[in-house]
Amino acid sequence: MSIDIETAARVAKLARIRVEDDALPALAQEFSNILGFIEQLNEVDVDGVEPMVSVEPMRLKRRQDGVTDGGMQGKILSNAPDAREGFFAVPKVVE
Amino acid sequence: MTDLTKLKISEARDALRKGEVTSVELTEACLVAIDQADALGAFVHKTPEVAMGQAKSADDRIKAGDAPDLCGIPLGIKDLFCTKGVPSQAASAILNGFKPEYESTVTSQLFGAGAVMLGKLNMDEFAMGSSNETSTYGNAINPWRRGNDDAALTPGGSSGGSASAVAADLCLAATGTDTGGSIRQPAAFTGITGIKPTYGRCSRWGIVAFASSLDQAGPMTKDVRDAAIMLEAMCGHDPKDSTSADLAVPNFEAMLTGDIKGKVIGIPREYRMDGMPDEIEALWSEGRRMLEDAGAVIRDISLPHTKYALPAYYVIAPAEASSNLARYDGVRYGHRAKLSQGDGITEMYEKTRAEGFGAEVQRRVMVGTYVLSAGFYDAYYNRARKVRTLIKKDFEDVFAEGIDAILTPATPSAAFELGKVHTDPVEMYLNDVFTVTVNLAGLPGISVPTGLDKQGLPLGLQLIGHPWEEGDLLNTAYALEQAAGFVAKPSQWW
């Protein structure tokens, strides 16, 4: 399957990664190569096969729905590129 | 005692307990070796103060008679593990400056057992790579060279720094992680031992996530006994990882008898690849003979879906990565791009991720985004998960027919030159052809050094075991190690 430049641009947008226009043709070509490799999977007969959910069958454990942690605002904000007045700060999102 | 850094965990443990050496002496010797080895690019964040503090406490514990096996043993820690107060950035620029406020479960178990952290080790960015060339820190270098040729070789990846550090005797052992072969391939390229346990044996909590259904931590060590000792300390149930297995962890070292009489070893015909170098073929036959001489029964087997493991992996792993790496948005930690006038939050995300992620990570995040996008989810992602079911069934079928372990080459070649395989991503992916099936099936796999090629580079064989039977697998590996008698070391040029 060949990926065109518009598709490459759409994927970059969905992934929230800025790709300059002049880099799109090479990116589209790389996607095409990788997807060409992946397309071998179409040779496999998967009729009636369940898609794998968990590699080792095990029942997920249950736990009390209770508070076990908290009260560490300072620690949570300590690595933020921009934290103000106890919050993460980002560019304006609401007009 | 001389050459303290060359000690194995088992030797150092015994010497520490007898009072022949202290952890402070061992740790100082490693720190000196690390400072002399900057040319290897293995240690990317050195933590001498942490190490000396831990070493002093370990010596006190040993004196008090409370000394678990790893007490006082100096280790290197892959940069993928979050270590409290110490840079942990998965070799990515997007985590520049990130110092976790918490400790991963695996490292906290190791340090709880008295182990000493010498520093953080180089790796491919977010563990995506097979040559350690995608790291923001630059390449890690293999201490091995081809004869007198001084061309820099890859230590493999993604745990390239771990492999280089252990092979060069900068630490006694190191942690690694393995999503498609990232412990076993670098171990094979550097003449050391590396085991990926069954999925669920080691907690993933606090390890930077790449592909959550495939990622497992494991030890990278100088021999099989050390792998058994260190694996036991890393394993165990953790309520903070919902896929962590609530199973007792056996004493793996006690299971190393070397007796494999009557064990049935499968040789999968699909692992004989076109264009496989004669030396790999010869090594494999040699391994088969060694296990036979040790009393094992060799049987040819078929794992018919082997060919489809790599393409399935290159759907599932990028899909999971695109989801896991969505968290790197420049808000909570790490890098945030400088914004221009008028840039809003979307521009912040897009610029931050374009600047922070390297080319291979961007490629995989976008491939993952594509295969999960509307209209392609069934064609790619669900189909790959169905193929994964078939790959696992291949193994279940041969195990049900009485196969105890499977012997394969660990890699399709010896270590290659840095900068040589870069151009085509798919060609780089082929490095994992023998290891990736094991991650897809969740099985334990171990790489054991068994010989040198004609240029003097180490080669390894892989053994694959039943789920949760790491002890039995380690014992088979121990028998192979004893028969192979691999003792070669790289000569020091750094």
Token pair 């729905």: residue: A65
Average model confidence (pLDDT) for chain B?
Answer: 96
Structure confidence by residue, pLDDT tens digits, B29-85: 999 999 999 999 999 999 999 999 999 999 999 999 989 999 999 999 999 999 999
Contacts of B392 in chain A (CB under 8 A): 52, 55
What is the bridge-based pairing of β-strands B74-78 and B173-178?
A: parallel
pLDDT digits (tens, 9 = 90+) for A16-36: 999 999 999 999 999 999 999
Contact residues on chain A for B347, CB-CB shorter than 8 A: 18, 91
- Whether B253 has a pLDDT exceeding 80, the answer reads yes
**Residues A36-59: what's their mean pLDDT?**
92
Dmax (CA) for chain B in angstroms is 74
Is residue B382 scored above 60 in pLDDT? yes
Percent of chain B predicted with pLDDT > 70: 99
Q: Which two tokens stand for residue B128?
A: 């995506």
What would the mean pLDDT of B450-467 be, rounded to a whole number?
97
Residue B17 has pLDDT above 80, yes or no: yes
Distance CA B86, CA B344 (A): 32
> How is residue A32 annotated by DSSP?
H
Q: Is the predicted pLDDT of residue B427 greater than 80, yes or no?
A: no
Instruction: Name every chain B residue with its beta carbon within 8 A of the beta carbon of A41.
Output: 308, 311-312, 315, 380, 383-384, 387
Minimal Cα–Cα distance from B431 to chain A, Å? Answer: 15
Q: Do B426 and A33 touch (CB under 8 A)?
A: yes
Q: What residue has token string 């008698």? A: B485
Give the closest-approach CA distance of B246 to chain A in angstroms. 9
Q: Check residue B425 and give its pLDDT.
A: 75
Looking from the CA of B359 toward its CB, the CA atoms found within 13 Å total: 11
Q: Which residues pair with B143 in a beta bridge?
A: none
Full-model pTM: 0.97
Condensed to tens digits (0 to 9), the pLDDT of residues B327-368 reads: 999 999 999 999 999 999 999 999 999 999 999 999 999 999
Name B216's bridge partners.
B178
- How far is the C-alpha of B244 from the C-alpha of B373, rounded, in Å? 29
How high is the pLDDT of residue B289?
98
With beta carbons under 8 A apart, name residues in chain A contacting B308. 40-41, 43-44
Judged by CB atoms closer than 8 Å, whether chains meet at B363 and A15 is answered as no
Q: How far is B170 from B74, CA to CA, in rounded Å?
A: 9
Lowest mean per-residue pLDDT among A32-46, A53-67, B304-318, B397-411: A53-67
B182 is catalytic: yes
Q: What's the confidence (pLDDT) of residue B420?
A: 82
Would you call B305 and A39 a contact, using CB atoms and an 8 Å cutoff? no
Asked whether residue B424 carries a pLDDT value surpassing 80, the answer given is no
CB contact residues (below 8 A), chain A span 9-48, against chain B: 11-12, 14-19, 27, 30-31, 33-35, 37-44, 46
Position B415 pLDDT exceeds 90: yes
CB environment B414-435: b (16+ within 10 A), e (fewer):
bbbebeebeeebeebbbbbbbb
Higher-pLDDT residue of B419 and A12 is A12
Catalytic, out of B182, B244, B322, B413: B182
Mind listing the pLDDT tens digit for each residue in B175-233?
Answer: 999 999 999 999 999 999 999 999 999 999 999 999 999 999 999 999 999 999 999 99
| Active-site residue (options: B23, B135, B158, B162) | B158
Q: How far apart are CA B271 and CA B282, in angstroms?
A: 13
Q: Rounded to a whole number, what is the distance in Å from the CA of A3 to chain B's nearest CA?
A: 10
State the pLDDT at residue B429: 83
DSSP class of B491:
P
Residue A14 is nearest to which of B331, B347, B373, comparing CB atoms? B373
